[in-house]
Structure 1
């Protein structure tokens, strides 16, 4: 086997100590899971943005609110998060408006509370599993560094059995140890980039939801006059 073959990535992984192999396996599993959630969350957030844009276009086109409510109630999944917020608010508004001895402010407050509760559930759903990406991005480099330190310790400990230490004796052990750091960075960097992007997109959606709730509350208030 040539020196080049000895220092190939697969050879280094195969020759690594048990602890370093366990670290690499853990990081590989975490990386696989993070990529899984990156694709899943990317698809769900893009769908939420598209549904929000479609619903805003329909809502501000001046259609009948009652008809929009019936359509949203009949297909809650199709209307997206903003449609479900609208549906919750209008349902509570219609229920409270039919009750006697209720002030307009009480009716609007009830509709706002219903929208706020649905808004929080929608945000929780959008943010689900993003904490895993944040944890992967912050912890994976340190886990990889642990594997590197352990591998280097083994490499230098092995020098005690060698009469004269040369680069040929030290290089394979250090190289296999550094592979753990490389895998840790491979797991961490995409997770950090994805988390920051998702956090930005979710924050923008949250602002659109809040603006809609305020504007919709004003529309409902005008209907009570």
Structure 2
């Protein structure tokens, strides 16, 4: 399998899943501004959506979207312990968190904060919405190590990947003690450290 990635993007999520589960991935770095891979290929021809991550599966299918790729990899890992059993209450709780992170955090950071051309007012509104979501997460993490029944899961990996972006925009996390402890806890996992190195990220 080949992962198309760019340093500092949400491709870190699938990379962490692969490292947690011992899945070997071929990597292809993408310049997402020029839409070329580091070997000169036109990325638009590979992924018409133009963004990362994308995963070329062993059966030749190009899978896109972080959440889909993470779940695909988790189903193929050993042990497959980052997903939840379909039909269980934990499964639907996992889907709830993955959806929340995707729609209420991921899509608030990008495009609104990553694209200043949308204007300062849009950025201010998005920043406030993100802080409101941090309030929810911080409260949920009270007396919890992880989001889902105190079991490390895909939701934790995805949350870590997205909340890291707060530092890019000087968003303070000091008042969110539970969330800050969560981020430190995840960043100390050996698989997370190795995944960050593989993505070209030097530190948390």
Q: Give TM-score, length-normalised by structure 2.
A: 0.24
Over alpha carbons, which structure has the higher Rg?
1
Structure number having the greater helix percentage: 1
> TM-score normalised to the size of structure 1?
0.23
The structure richer in strand per residue is: 2
Higher relative contact order (CA 8 A, sep 6+): 1
